[in-house]
């Protein structure tokens, strides 16, 4: 079963704009991770946020976590064509080793 659900399912924006993707989950977590998947490739880890953190930055990426609402968001600032990919959140379901992935958001950056 899917733990995380991303919203929107697809997003298309112009290069230079900011992109925001949301993830909701159902059970308590210790950590939440975001991954990117380019077409025909495996997933690549972007950032991890712990349940006691509210916000985390990495370059042009900003992740927020609201455990009371069981939701997280990924913001990509100043988007580039190379950011075109699918983005997935993954949760550890209360500390289990296995990660459960959402369905992903397909992001398209138009030049």
Partner 1 sequence: DAGVIQSPRHEVTEMGQEVTLRCKPISGHDYLFWYRQTMMRGLELLIYFNNNVPIDDSGMPEDRFSAKMPNASFSTLKIQPSEPRDSAVYFCASSWGNRGRSPLHFGNGTRLTVT
CB nearer partner 1, residue 67 or residue 93: 93
Nearest approach, Cβ of 93 to partner 1 (angstroms)? 8
Sign (positive or negative) of CA dihedral 1, 7, 31, 59? positive
The closest of 109, 61, 104 to 83, measured between CA atoms, is 109
Residue 55 to residues 34, 61, 106: CA-CA distances in angstroms? 13, 11, 23
- Of the candidate spans 15-23, 64-72, 75-83, 99-107, the one that interacts with partner 1 by CB under 8 A turns out to be 99-107
Query: Count of residues binding partner 1 (CB under 8 A)?
Result: 29
The residues binding partner 1 (CB under 8 A) are: 2, 29-31, 33, 35, 40-45, 48, 50, 88, 90-93, 95-104
């Amino acid at each position: 079963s899917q733990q995380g659900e991303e919203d929107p399912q697809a997003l298309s924006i112009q290069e230079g704009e900011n992109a925001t993707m949301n993830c909701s989950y159902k059970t308590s977590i210790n950590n939440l991770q975001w991954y990117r998947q380019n077409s025909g490739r495996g997933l690549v880890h972007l950032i991890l946020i712990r349940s006691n953190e509210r916000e985390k930055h990495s370059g042009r990426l900003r992740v927020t976590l609201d455990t009371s609402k069981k939701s997280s968001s990924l913001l990509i600032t100043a988007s580039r064509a190379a950011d075109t990919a699918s983005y997935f959140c993954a949760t550890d379901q209360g500390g289990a080793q296995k990660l459960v992935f959402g369905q992903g958001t397909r992001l398209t950056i138009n030049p």
